[in-house]
Chains A and B, each alone.
Chain A
Amino acid sequence: DVKVTQSSRYLVKRTGEKVFLECVQDMDHENMFWYRQDPGLGLRLIYFSYDVKMKEKGDIPEGYSVSREKKERFSLILESASTNQTSMYLCASILGPTYEQYFGPGTRLTVT
């Protein structure tokens, strides 16, 4: 059974903290994605990666960075958390362009 896991389901951090969100997939997929989801705005792409050590900016990369040191692991980093980064964060991986995305369970991050 395919699986994408995320390090935390719920996270509460303070403004200015550095936050790490980790995602691991066991499907040997090369392509991984980080989204945030907010009410009324849908899923917005933050960053994606086509291969180890490769990364591409999505639609809303400001305030975020990513790391892909191993094929199975894709980390999202909030360098200095702010309250407007309170959101649901979803990681996904995909086999190829015509295939479905497999999503992790999501991390609900609250920045106070």
Chain B
Amino acid sequence: QKEVEQNSGPLSVPEGAIASLNCTYSDRGSQSFFWYRQYSGKSPELIMFIYSNGDKEDGRFTAQLNKASQYVSLLIRDSQPSDSATYLCAVGVNTGGFKTIFGAGTRLFVKA
């Protein structure tokens, strides 16, 4: 079982719709949760982070965390063609040292 799992997609939504991206993780000791956006040929950039159960909103983005279910999601409201990218879910774990485990990413296409 992969430590961080995401549906690879592609997920296709029309412009203006809500895009919902999901992620599950296996390590119950995970402390921090991140969503990165990666455009083709570019490096990942952070768009959201969340540490506590519940919702966190930032502009058009909402991150949701449920530690009991080991589940984290990202909602993108009013999706725009410029949101078309691969979205990486990442989990911070402390294993004596610490490291970040990345999912393989979900490709999102927003159709104009």
Q: Please list the residues of chain A having a beta carbon within 8 angstroms of any beta carbon in chain B.
A: 31, 33, 35, 40-43, 45, 48, 50, 56, 58, 90, 94, 96-101, 103-106
12 contacts between A and B (CB under 8 A): A40-B8, A40-B104, A42-B103, A42-B105, A43-B88, A48-B97, A90-B43, A96-B98, A101-B46, A101-B90, A101-B100, A106-B43
Instruction: Specify which chain B residues have a CB less than 8 angstroms from the CB of A58 in the assembled complex.
Output: 99
The proximity string for B residues 49-86 relative to A, scoring 1 for CB distances below 8 Å and 0 otherwise, is 10100000000000000000000000000000000000
| With A42-B103, A105-B43 as contacts: A97 and B49 at CB distance below 8 Å | no
Q: Is the CB of B43 within 8 A of A104?
A: yes
B31 an interface residue at 8 Å Cβ cutoff?
Answer: yes
Q: Please list the residues of chain B having a beta carbon within 8 angstroms of any beta carbon in chain A.
A: 8, 31-32, 34, 42-46, 49, 51, 88, 90, 92, 94, 97-100, 102-105
Instruction: Specify which chain A residues have a CB less than 8 angstroms from the CB of B104 in the assembled complex.
Output: 40-42
Instruction: Specify which chain B residues have a CB less than 8 angstroms from the CB of A103 in the assembled complex.
Output: 43-45
CA distance A48 to B8 in the complex (A): 26
Q: Is the CB of A33 within 8 A of B99?
A: yes
